[in-house]
Amino acid sequence: MQTETEPLEGETVDARLNRYRVFDEVNAPYIAWQLDQFRPFLGARILEVGCGVGSVLAQLGDRELLMGVDVEQDILDFARSRFNGHARYEFAHLDVAALNESQLADLKQHRFDTVVCINVLEHVPDDERAMNAMADILVPGGTLNLLVPAHPMLYGPYDKMEGHFRRYTRKRLRELVSKAGLEAIRLYHFNAVGAAGWWVQYRLLRRQIHQQTHFQTIQRMLPALKAVESRLRPPFGLSLVAIARKPNR
């Protein structure tokens, strides 16, 4: 089985990055919808944890500082080259769940008022340590903006092969936020139709790869989905959104 973020057997780095670029283009409207959940809380100095090839950074607009960190060097190198010549972008090869004192101090010196982390925390074995680090990096009053896979009952072979250690419940995510010393502003399910489709594709039919047609289908449905969920929070969803603030102390 293969996902859009894992190398195919025998695949060159160039071929892999080209595949990512295609995925970027196809999935851009959905990424924009994800970011819409955070926009009222995005500040001027943003750190993205798990920036990949830079698809989220590319949609964050004009900011004072945009920094991306990732654990994959070749992917990070592409993201850096993508924004070459733009002084407000910075990149670093770092694992937020394993920062040493020097790395943490350097990140804190950037005085980030916003951390964005989309579909990354589920890949981290020690998610509590990662949460604590992200909270520590923020300046007082700053916000942590998270999106993670929801519902453990949806967890299956696809999640495992994609490198997911878990899917989250509202209770678990709220506990992580609280233990990190943050105050939850918003916490809700996101993309109910996607959850139903995930269950059919990867639990019922046990399919083992994302197909481009899956993304094209969700893009066609986006206007209706956005209209409904902007007015009514669904009781379930493919993802959980959490927006948490660091207290002013």
Size (the chain), residues: 249
**Residue 160 is assigned to a structural domain of this protein:** yes
Q: Give the residues across from 69 on adjacent strands.
A: 49, 92
Burial of 3 (0-12, 13-18, 19+ CB in 10 A): middle
Which has the minimum average pLDDT: 158-167, 189-198, 232-241?
A: 189-198
Which has the minimum average pLDDT: 41-50, 84-93, 167-176?
A: 84-93
Question: pLDDT by residue (tens digit) across 95-132?
Answer: 999 999 999 999 999 999 999 999 999 999 999 999 99
pLDDT of residue 207: 59
CA dihedral 41, 145, 131, 30 (to 10 degrees): -170
Give the number of other Cβ atoms within 10 Å of residue 234's Cβ: 16
| Separation CA 72–CA 7 (nearest Å) | 12
Question: pLDDT by residue (tens digit) across 28-54?
Answer: 999 999 999 999 999 999 999 999 999
pTM across the whole model: 0.88
Structural domain count of the chain: 1
State yes or no: pLDDT of 7 exceeds 90: no
| Separation CA 86–CA 95 (nearest Å) | 24
**Residue 60 is assigned to a structural domain of this protein:** yes
State yes or no: pLDDT of 193 exceeds 60: yes
**Residue 110 is assigned to a structural domain of this protein:** yes
* CATH code for position 111: 3.40.50.150
State yes or no: pLDDT of 58 exceeds 80: yes
| Separation CA 136–CA 54 (nearest Å) | 23
**Cβ(141)–Cβ(135) below 8 Å:** no
Percent of the chain scoring above 70 in pLDDT = 87
Percent of the chain scoring above 90 in pLDDT = 65
**Residue 148 is assigned to a structural domain of this protein:** yes
pLDDT of residue 19: 73
State yes or no: pLDDT of 6 exceeds 70: no
State yes or no: pLDDT of 133 exceeds 50: yes
pLDDT of residue 85: 79
* Structural domain boundaries enclosing 157: 13-245
**Residue 71 is assigned to a structural domain of this protein:** yes
| Separation CA 202–CA 181 (nearest Å) | 35
* Rounded alpha-carbon distances, angstroms, from residue 48 to 4, 23, 55, 60, 200: 19, 19, 11, 10, 31
In this prediction, residue 18 has a pLDDT band, given cuts at 50, 70 and 90, of: confident
**Residue 2 is assigned to a structural domain of this protein:** no
**Residue 35 is assigned to a structural domain of this protein:** yes
**Residue 123 is assigned to a structural domain of this protein:** yes
Indicate the helix (H) or strand (E) that contains 60.
none
In this prediction, residue 2 has a pLDDT band, given cuts at 50, 70 and 90, of: very low
